[in-house]
Structure formats: C-alpha cells, structure tokens
Structure 1
C-alpha cells in the first residue's frame, strides 16, 4: 500500500482519479459522496498502519451510489489488477455451492473458498453484503475473520448497518462475530444524500447494460404478445420453446435466440422466460448466475403483480434482479401492470426495496409503438 508518509499526496491522487472518472461520465458527486470519498482517500493512504482501520463498511438506503462510489475507489487504488479481488454477494455463495458439489465438507468448502478469494489479494471489495440465513452468516464470519487476520484493506457495501445483518432475533447471534469484527476493525460509514438517484429523476436512456432494458405494461385487457409486437419485439413462437440448464435444474424458456438483432433486441444471445416458468419453479440464485453467464439479453414475459404470486416467487424475483443488475445485463419486462402495481404488496419479500430502486432504471417501453 501507499507509504503513510505520503498520505496527503496519495489521498489527493485517489480523490482526483475518482472525480475525473465521475466527470467523464457526467456524474457530479453529492456532498455525502464527496465527504466519504475524501475520508476513504485519507484512510487508503494509511492502510497497513497499526492503528488504521482495515477498511470501510459503507451502508445506506438503495440508490445512493454506494456500489458506484466504492467501485470507483476500488479501481483507483494504486494496486496491480491481479492483486485486487472483487466479489458480489451471490457469486460468493455460488462459488461455495460449487465446492459443496465437489463433495467437500462444509468446513473444507468454506476454507477453500476463502483461501481462493484472498490468497495474493492486496485489496478486497465485497459488494452488496446482505445476510438472511445462518449458513450465510457462518461463511461471512470466516471471511471477515480472515480479512482482519491478513490485514487486507477492504471495502464493503450494504443496505444494512452491521447490526442489521441477519436481523431475525432467533438467528442473529450467528452473525455477531462478524458484527463485532466489523465494528472493531473497520470504519463504518453511512452514505445517504437523501435521494434515490435511480428514481428521483429520469435519466437519458442507456445504450447498454441493465438500464437499457424496458418495462412494457400492457394492462389487464391486453396480451404480452401484442405488447411485444407494438414495442418492436418479435414474441416467441411455440416451436421456440426449449429447456435451459439441465438435470434437476432444468428450466423451460420460451425462446433462446443467438446473435439476432432483428427482433427489437441488439445482436446478442437472448433468452425469453415466462414469469411463472422461471420464478414459480424451484430455481435459485445460482441458476440465474449460470444463465447470466450464457445470455446477455433477458426478456421476462407476463409478470403479474407480486401479490398474485407465491412467497417463493417474490423472493426469487428479488434475487433475479440482484444478479442481472450486478452482471449489468439488459432486462425487458412485459407485465400486466406498471412498476408500482407490481410491488404494491402488504407482505413484501426481504430486500424488495432494493428491487424497487433497480426497476426505476428500466425505461418505459410503450406498447403504442415508441418502445
């Protein structure tokens, strides 16, 4: 890491690099973001010192720019790319499940996963940390303990303050070792400039990535097929129905289209799913991760209000949006309702607030033809 004696100069370079990158993208840091950037820049120049926090745990509501700011800082830290490690919540657990599948014991799988992540790492970034089950908490305990033991400078982002992880009082004690280590060894900071930037004001339509997707509402009297056509999409034909993944993980897709740019989507490998086929089936986040590695355009057809779906499907929808947002893949949703109607539910799934914020990025795809 940077020599602590060079802190002012190093901090200035880090802040300037982030501000320059933001400016090139037309982003002006708000006051809260600027203050946090300046503080982390100073800390980064001192990392490795005996009394310096091991990193920063950034938490706050959805849409405040936590992931964006942490990503910019992570990229600007003067460490070779090969010595940087970045992991998202879902990919972290996907790797663990892969090792379980290799017939490892739980302890060995956790040890191997953590070692592979951290060996040779000089800076670490864990994005979107949220823990809602004891198994996830146990893995987090091991990871945080190892980060502290190795003194690897670390950035965490989360919608939850440390004490809010695994909030269920029956199981919260499982995550308490992580909470204690985070409070003792990391600077815990809130990022909340007061606005959800995804929904506060409409942005210019994105050309690429998740935000280039669309929300096409066709109403109770319409049909997904006609709405798709009116929006410049060619709906799937019955003969296109196929199976993706395999074995006990097999899922029915309405269509898989490879390298096709004539149906209203950019040239890509596109997959079309009926909402029920994908989310009322016993699919899991690992399935979405594997599919996201294969398909770079997604269309979800006939999405009903969540109040009309099973509790399991609601939670899967949250996980699906997490995966597609992190992978930055375009999502087009053909729904019987608008976004507000979709999430108008009295018993929301865990983390639906994050999904609502993300859905605001999708531009309106008008079935009247301007799609």
Structure 2
C-alpha cells in the first residue's frame, strides 16, 4: 500500500524498525506479528548497508550483500515495509520504482543503445554507478519482452554488487507462470533465489480491509440506455468535462484522440487545466486494443483523474489444447512459441487480454494515486470471478476497494 511517513518526525534518520515502532506507538498502524520476520530482515540489511556507508559515501561493490524479496497475498503490507526501508536510506544510494516503470526505462535505454555490444551489461553498469540499492514494487512479469531480458540483466546487476529489494504477490518460482518460452526466464528466477532472501508474508490480516471512509467511485450502469447516458453526463459534469453530443455513439468524424507513445487513443472528454487534469475513456478504447502498460504509465504522468466508462464483465475460462504440427510460428519475426509440437498450450479466454490491460491500468492508477472513476455493467465483485487470471485479479479487487476511500484520495507522498 502507498505509505505516508509525514507523521514520523525526521523519518529519514530513523531505521526501518524505528519507523515501524513509531507508527505503532502513534496508533497509525496495528502491530502485525506476521510482519516481524520481514521487518527484522530489512532492519539487518539497513545496518549492513550503513556499516559500509558510515561517512555517507556510496558503499563499495566489493562485498556481496543479499537483497530481500517479499511476497504474499494482497494487503499484507509488503509495499509498506519496503517503503520503510527506502525511507531510511539516502536517495543518493537507493532508487525505488514500480517494476513496470523500471522495465520501461530499460526498454528505452535498449532502443538508445541499438547496435552496441552487450547493451544489458552496459545498462546494469549505469545503474551500479548511480545506486547501490534498487527497490522494485510489484515485481510481476507478463510481457515476453521483459521475460527475455531479465535473466541476463539481473545476473549483471548482481555481479556488479547492486542490492535488490522487491515486493511481489507470488514466490520467485511462480513468476511468469505459463509464459511463452518460460525456460528462457528461468535464469532470472535462479538469480533472484541466489541473491535475495525470500520471505513470505503469510498473515491472515488484509490491511487494506482496515476501517476506511468510503467514497463512491464505482457505479453499476442502469438497465436502460437513457439512464446510462444520464449517469455518464452527471459524472462528466461533476469533473467539469465538456459533454459530448452523444455518449453512447462515437462517430468517426467526431471522435477525439490523444497521442500516447506514438499511438492515438480515442477518448470521450478531457481537461488539462492545472487544477483539473482529467480524462475520460470508454473501456473498449483503453483496454481492448493495442495497448501496453507503458501507455498507462504515460497517462498517469499526464492526468490525476481518469474516468473509465462501460466496463464489461471479464470472466471466462481458458482452455488447453495439444499443440499441433505447424503452429510453432505465431506470425511474428520473433519465436515466441509456447513449446514443441505435441505439448499442451493454454488458449486464453476471449476477455483475458482486456482483463490483463485492466489489471495493469488499475495498478498504475493505484501506484500514482490517481482518482479512478468506473462505470460497469456488473457489480465490482462480479467483474472477474472465473478464469485463469483469478490470482492476478485478486490484487486488482483489493486495490479498487482501497481506492474508494478518502484515505487513499488524500494520500500524500
């Protein structure tokens, strides 16, 4: 969960454990026994780094220091604990990023280094010259491009003495499960297990279910079209957006488009005033097209409020089939075959791609503290309750609950 440490005096001068104890004493958080092993490990890592950095200089790279990999169900406090650790270190040696942002940076560097020998090693060297510690929130891999890079990149980073602290909803051996060419991702898993202490937060308490002040940001669409249009107009008016002539139809000659990373995306309405950076999309345009999580990263940089209309139910059961001869080539210039002829391959349900994009969109809005307003054809607990993405969607469901609160909307960083 995003964390506000402004309540702790001189938080940057306190160790992770001291910050934790101060928050408990101030009754800002509840003591959770299941978090104590993780906080102890982060405290020990903090002391180790401090012992090599007594004079405030960057630590040398001659001593191998193991990082930490925190994983567990949603709401167990993984991000909260990692942020305590980040807050205790000087920014000159520690960088904290959402994992998607990190991979976006890596891909941008790779494009700039086109033609250079061993570009991943060069990128790792650049990171090692700037930081001793890299902290990744939501370490989760779904993109084959990311998966193919990470084995070598992580190996280079660890060889150069970079300490990696990560949070994830799954254990390292579960990363990129069922992914295309997963065998090429296995070196990344090995590197994580060798160079980090893996800690599972197994507590039963979901801290996102704490007492929150509810703010409605999720609206179930009425049955009749005219009522749906009225609801959408009311929401647009609430956020001071110009009302399009027709909300249920978007003729080509009246569609408005925004350019995001070289691609045009149709939107319903937007405002770029400094005090009202708001944009509204239809679900079809934002989640059912050639979109990547990088598009959502860019949108989160430009806007503080995002309205998403007409979200459909996304459940659907994926199925398996035996891979037939002649299906190895997926039509691209890159071999992303799931396996050899005769092996089983997973066929996604019709809405799984859209569901993955919706998950990525919610993650980015949450991480950047955006106000996300949704209208949908079904209740929130019916958006996705059957299919191969149940594990991934559990995080989304939990985050949507927290995002509908005054505590989330008033969060400061």
Shared fold per TM-score greater than 0.5? yes
How far apart are residue 110 of structure 1 and its match? 3.0
Structure with greater helix percent: 1
How far apart are residue 12 of structure 1 and its match? 8.6
1:25–1:134 Cα change, 3 Å: farther
Distance in 1 between residues matched to 2:178 and 2:36, nearest whole Å: 34
Partner of 1:172: 182
Give unmatched runs, 5+ long, in structure 2.
1-12, 53-61, 246-253, 317-349, 407-413
SS, match of residue 26 in structure 1: coil
1:192–1:186 Cα change, 3 Å: same
Distance in 2 between residues matched to 1:170 and 1:307, nearest whole Å: 22
How far apart are residue 330 of structure 1 and its match? 1.3
1:91 to 76, 92, 101: 101
SS, match of residue 245 in structure 1: strand
Structure label with greater radius of gyration:
2
- CA-to-aligned-CA distance 1:298-323 (integer Å, 9 cap, x gap): 11111111149733211111111121
How far apart are residue 251 of structure 1 and its match? 0.2
The within-5 A match list for 1:179-194 is: 179-194=189-204
The within-5 A match list for 1:205-354 is: 205=214, 214-221=217-224, 223-228=227-232, 233=238, 236-238=242-244, 242-245=256-259, 249-259=263-273, 267-307=275-315, 310-348=351-389, 351-354=392-395
- Asked whether the equivalents of residues 315 and 385 of structure 2 are also in contact (C-alpha less than 8 Å), the reply is yes
Partner of 1:154: 164
- CA-to-aligned-CA distance 1:165-221 (integer Å, 9 cap, x gap): 1222863322222222222222110012113322x345124xxxxxx7711223333
Distance in 2 between residues matched to 1:349 and 1:190, nearest whole Å: 20
Partner of 2:250: none
1:136–1:119 Cα change, 3 Å: same
- Asked whether the equivalents of residues 16 and 84 of structure 2 are also in contact (C-alpha less than 8 Å), the reply is no
Compare 62-71 and 177-186 and name the one that shifted more: 177-186
1:317–1:13 Cα change, 3 Å: closer
Give unmatched runs, 5+ long, in structure 1.
1-10, 206-211, 261-266, 366-371
Partner of 1:204: 213
How far apart are residue 145 of structure 1 and its match? 1.5
Equivalences, count: 340
TM-score by length of 1: 0.80
Distance in 1 between residues matched to 2:311 and 2:29, nearest whole Å: 33
Distance in 2 between residues matched to 1:144 and 1:253, nearest whole Å: 38
SS, match of residue 402 in structure 2: coil
Partner of 2:67: 55
- Asked whether the equivalents of residues 217 and 374 of structure 2 are also in contact (C-alpha less than 8 Å), the reply is yes
Runs of 4+ in 1 over 6 A off after TM superposition: 48-52
TM-score by length of 2: 0.72
SS, match of residue 82 in structure 1: coil
Distance in 1 between residues matched to 2:403 and 2:121, nearest whole Å: 39
- Asked whether the equivalents of residues 285 and 320 of structure 1 are also in contact (C-alpha less than 8 Å), the reply is yes
Distance in 2 between residues matched to 1:106 and 1:256, nearest whole Å: 41
Distance in 1 between residues matched to 2:219 and 2:405, nearest whole Å: 6
Distance in 2 between residues matched to 1:304 and 1:293, nearest whole Å: 26
The within-5 A match list for 1:360-371 is: 360-363=401-404
Distance in 2 between residues matched to 1:244 and 1:169, nearest whole Å: 32
Compare 117-126 and 304-313 and name the one that shifted more: 304-313
- Asked whether the equivalents of residues 238 and 254 of structure 1 are also in contact (C-alpha less than 8 Å), the reply is yes
Partner of 2:29: 27
1:204–1:330 Cα change, 3 Å: same
Distance in 2 between residues matched to 1:83 and 1:253, nearest whole Å: 41
Partner of 1:76: 88
1:113–1:301 Cα change, 3 Å: farther
SS, match of residue 272 in structure 1: strand
How far apart are residue 38 of structure 1 and its match? 2.1
How far apart are residue 335 of structure 1 and its match? 1.6
Distance in 2 between residues matched to 1:271 and 1:170, nearest whole Å: 34
1:76–1:237 Cα change, 3 Å: same
SS, match of residue 306 in structure 1: coil
SS, match of residue 142 in structure 2: coil
1:24–1:273 Cα change, 3 Å: farther
How far apart are residue 41 of structure 1 and its match? 0.6
1:152–1:23 Cα change, 3 Å: farther
Partner of 1:209: none
- Asked whether the equivalents of residues 318 and 355 of structure 1 are also in contact (C-alpha less than 8 Å), the reply is yes
